[in-house]
A and B are shown apart, each in its own frame.
Chain A
Amino acid sequence: SQTIHQWPATLVQPVGSPLSLECTVEGTSNPNLYWYRQAAGRGLQLLFYSVGIGQISSEVPQNLSASRPQDRQFILSSKKLLLSDSGFYLCAWSWASNYGYTFGSGTRLTIV
């Protein structure tokens, strides 16, 4: 069966510090991978998606970036965090021919 791992679960970072969130998928090959952000009281906002190694599509211009160095690894990064980057970050995967996503357990990021 397929599993998705996301860490850390919670993170408190000062403004201006760097960020690296990691997501890995097990039990499947060549998945589509996604990063979403869920701000308090708001819906899910698609940040990045990837259909293959090194292939990243950005949905929202901002100070975040994503990379996919391996088939089942997806990394969300920032060089300098802003207060507005606080939120609940969710990684997800899907098969290209399947429906819906499977989400990870999320990372709650608080910028102080």
Chain B
Amino acid sequence: QKEVEQDPGPLSVPEGAIVSLNCTYSNSAFQYFMWYRQYSRKGPELLMYTYSSGNKEDGRFTAQVDKSSKYISLFIRDSQPSDSATYLCASSLIQGAQKLVFGQGTRLTINP
């Protein structure tokens, strides 16, 4: 079993829709959770970062962690074509840990 599982998609939605991206993880010791966005042929860039359970909002993006169910979510409101990318969730045991464990990534396309 992979430590972080993510549906690879692809996921295609119309512009303006609310997008929900999800991951599950198996290691209950994970404390830090991140979402990265990766455009085609580019390196991933950090999008959102959360610690333990709860929600974090940044503009159109909301990250949500439910440690009781080991579930990580990213919501994108008012989705734009520029949001089309692969989204990777990641988890780690301690802050700045040497080992970030990544999900497979979900490929998202926003259709104008």
A binding-site residues for B, Cβ under 8 Å:
6, 32, 34, 41-44, 46, 49, 51, 57, 59, 90, 92, 94-106, 108
Contact = CB atoms under 8 A, between A and B. Distances in A.
A49 B104 contact: no
Interface of B: 4, 6, 8, 32, 34, 36, 41-46, 49, 88, 90, 95-96, 98-100, 102-105
A57 B96 contact: no
Given A99-B49, A103-B45, A104-B43, A49 B98 contact: yes
Nearest to B2: A43
B108 to A, nearest CB: 15
B34 A100 contact: yes
A47 to B, nearest CB: 12
Contact of A90 (B32, B43, B90): B43
